Structure 1
Amino acid sequence: MFRKFKRSRSVGKQPLTDQLADAVLEQIRKGFDPERVDELIAKAVPEFIDEMAPMLAGRIKKDKRTLRANRRAERGFDRRLAKQWGKALDLYQITLFMCIELGEGAARRDGEHLTPTEQNILEALTGLHVTACRVAGEVLTLLSHGHPRGALARCRTLHETAVIAGLIAESATDAVHCDLAERFLDHEIVGRRRDALQFQKDHIVLGEEPLEQEFLDEIERRYDEVITKYGADFKREYGWAKKFSPNDNFRELEEKASLSHVRPYYQWASSEVHCGARGLSHNFIEYRGITVRDVGKTNIGLIDPASMALSSLLQTTFALAAVKISDGVDMDAILHMRAIQEIMSACIDVLFEAQEGIDRAERKILKGMQKNR
């Protein structure tokens, strides 16, 4: 926390707090008119705040000593966390690097030998895999600095990515739904149009220049094309999946991807994304026999976000590496996927070992505290 500062007097004039006190005393001597005193206070307090707030802000910004102390504390925490969880996080990072490398190889398939439908499938799966790798990296950074709840929030995106990637890969061999990737890619203009219209509505309040009409016209042209091509339902959030999944909602997409069993974790992660009362309950943790509000970093709770992230990352990677398109399945890629699964399994084992080590240390500390009472 930042240190409290003594307020210095303004040069050449009486501080507002003293002015306020003098005015109150004067009114008391005159017979104490409560309404007049309230009026003076109501007028003086905002002036006092306006004068003192910039002074306080300026002194806090200049307080490098407190900033350095806080940073030393943060670095110390990160070092202790690395000592406890470093082996597991190293295995997580190895898994991530292998998935990136495998995805790069799969994305370099010879597009000249692919049909337009297969090119769409490869483009969609490559894009989804890029997202999965980037988000998995974000999860690693958050875990490495003691923010498992932030990591869990990013796991929500990873799960959605894995579901969609799995469906597109599965549709590659379905004569009826092999256009699912094309629909998914074409749906981009629906979101772009929504965002553009919202910006155009609010640009004045935002203090921004409006979008050029030529740009908006081009968006409308492309939007009209896809609605004409796929129908009015295409404008819905999951309109691209309407043909494949008539209910076109994410819950049904999870079921079709055989990932509905992950929904409890997905809902848990969602409570860290949306600001609801359910998420507030996650702010409380038990620490050495008492319940505290966790406002900062913690060295517990890394197992669930790490394992959820790795699972979704592997599912997305496998969808790209093993998709059945005209050039066949890359057996070398399948071999590497099996190796990645082994490393992931080892990572999860070490995660549990790390948590067990922390639990043992805490039990020892609690036992010592009880003994000394």
Structure 2
Amino acid sequence: MSEKETEIDDWYITATKGVMERVVKEVESYDGEIDDEAEEEILDIGVDVLLDELARKYDKAIKEEKSNRDQMEESIRGTWEHALDFLDFFILVNQKSRRLIEQVSGVDEKDEDYQFDALMRLHVRALRVSREVAALLRAGFADGAMARWRTLHEIAAVATIIAEEGEVAGERYLKFKTAKDLFRVKNNYDDYFEKLGFDEIPEEDVEELEAQTEELIDKFGEDFDNFNGWATAFVEGGGGVTITDLIEEAELEEYLPFYALACDSIHAGSKGTLFQMGLHEAEMGGEEEVLLAGRSDIGFTDPAQLTAIMLRETTEALRALVPDENWQAHWEMYFRAMDVLVDEIADAFWHVDQLLSGMRGAGVRPDVA
């Protein structure tokens, strides 16, 4: 544990010490062996004292947390602000492009064009996830940003497939929600709603979901209610289509090593526990190991660059909505320009990352909170 962490924990140690002293006094006040009833009474007293102690330390604790956050955000602004602003600008440019495509698409009844509806919804979600990545980076959470990028990789793959396969793919994708809802009810909700204190879903609602799903299976095939069943008509995968299948079908598989890295940030395995993007390799392991419990100002390059790449891919999928040849020259010019911006974003982040990594390698203590 670093010296900084010890200082931050002083208020908690003080509170805990007060609780233990009170519990000891209560134990000493009993003559003879403490039975179960007495033990429960002592524990209840300890809980009350602990809550009172924590309440007294609340203002100090929040003040320290805000101070740490403000200090880290100031550090990030001082080093990363230009690069992060560049990423924000790129996201906004892609949002404006979506609105232009919406205007020139020629789709009047949007709810009757499944491909249009699916791609527009996917792109809006991609924009939101991209902004979540940017927000996490500004807050100093590189691993969290990488985890959110994983979702963006999947969105780009799905959008690419729907753009290539057309209207039927859009319809299958949007209507697959019904089959997924039924799966969630039968395999998740029904098993746990009582323990959670929730109400049981009315039988007539479940029957309606079952009937709707059967209609979709009759229309789209017996594999429709399998894992990612909407994509079984376009992607080979016996018994269900995996996320990797979708990524490979969209020809975005070269980013799978980063996808695997993002999975480590999401799951509770040892890799994600022992490796953090927010730390320099010199800070992991050994006598000078840093245990990163919060924010850091390092490791931003991969999630930022990958976010720009996948948002650009998702935007390009919208190109399928405007097949007019008069617009093709515009889109060609636009996406070539986006490629240049993606490279420049990568360079902007990489230069800052190299500077900070060099400082870490030279023994400069990390700025973590």
**TM-score greater than 0.5 by the shorter chain:** yes
Q: Aligned equivalents of 1:9 and 1:268: distance in 2?
A: 43
Contact 1:102–1:333 (CA under 8 A) maintained in structure 2: no
Question: What's the counterpart of residue 241 of structure 1?
Answer: 231
Report how far residue 212 of structure 1 moved: 3.2
Q: How many angstroms apart in 2 are the aligned matches of 1:94 and 1:122? A: 25
| Worse overlay, 128-137 or 107-116 | 107-116
- Which of residues 314, 321, 340 is equivalent to 1:342? 340
Tell me what 1:310 maps to. Answer: 308
CA shift digits 1:172-194 (9 cap, x unpaired): 3xxxxx52222112211111112
% same residue: 24
**For structure 1, which segment, 213-222 or 265-274, has the greater mean C-alpha deviation from structure 2 after superposition?**
213-222
Unaligned runs of 5+ in 1: 28-36, 173-177, 368-373
- In structure 2, which of residues 317, 320, 325 is the aligned counterpart of residue 323 of structure 1? 320
Letter of the 1:309 partner, please give it: T
Alignment of 1:99-118 (within 5 A): 99-108=94-103, 109-112=105-108
Identify the residue that residue 69 of structure 2 maps to in structure 1.
74
User: What is the alpha-carbon distance in structure 2 between the residues aligned to residue 325 and residue 366 of structure 1?
Assistant: 53
Provide, for residues 271-305 of structure 1, a one-character-per-residue CA deviation record: whole Å limited to 9, x for no partner: 21222233222257533982222111111111111
Shift in CA distance, 330/53, structure 1 to aligned 2, threshold 3 Å: farther
Q: Counterpart of 1:191?
A: 180
Q: Assess if the C-alpha contact under 8 Å between 1:17 and 1:48 holds in 2.
A: no
CA distance in 1, matches of 2:362, 2:194: 61
When the two structures are superposed, what TM-score results if normalisation uses the length of structure 2? 0.83
Superposition TM-score, scaled by structure 1 size: 0.82
Cα distance in 2 for residues equivalent to 1:232 and 1:97? 41
Query: Contact 2:27–2:42 at 8 Å: present in 1 too?
Result: no
Structure 1 CA distance for aligned equivalents of residues 19 and 160 of structure 2: 65
Alignment partner of 1:282 is 2:271: no
Rounded to whole Å, the distance in 1 between the matches of 2:20 and 2:149 is 53
What is the SS of the residue equivalent to 2:77?
A: helix
Equivalent-residue separation in structure 2 for 1:205 and 1:343 (angstroms) = 51
The structure with more radius of gyration? 1
Pairing of 1:215-254 with structure 2 (within 5 A): 215-247=205-237, 248-254=241-247
User: How much has 1:22 moved relative to structure 2?
Assistant: 5.2
The answer to whether the 8 A contact 1:132-1:161 is kept is: yes
Structure 2 residue 148 is matched with structure 1 residue 148: no
- Quickly say closer, same or farther: Cα 1:355–1:326, change in 2 above 3 A: closer
Query: Alignment partner for residue 131 of structure 2, among 126, 129, 137?
Result: 137
Determine helix, strand or coil for the equivalent of 2:140.
coil
Residues 41 and 210 (structure 1), Cα distance of their counterparts in 2 relative to 1, 3 Å cut: closer
Change (3 A) 1:76 1:113: closer
Matched residue of 2:289: which SS?
Answer: strand
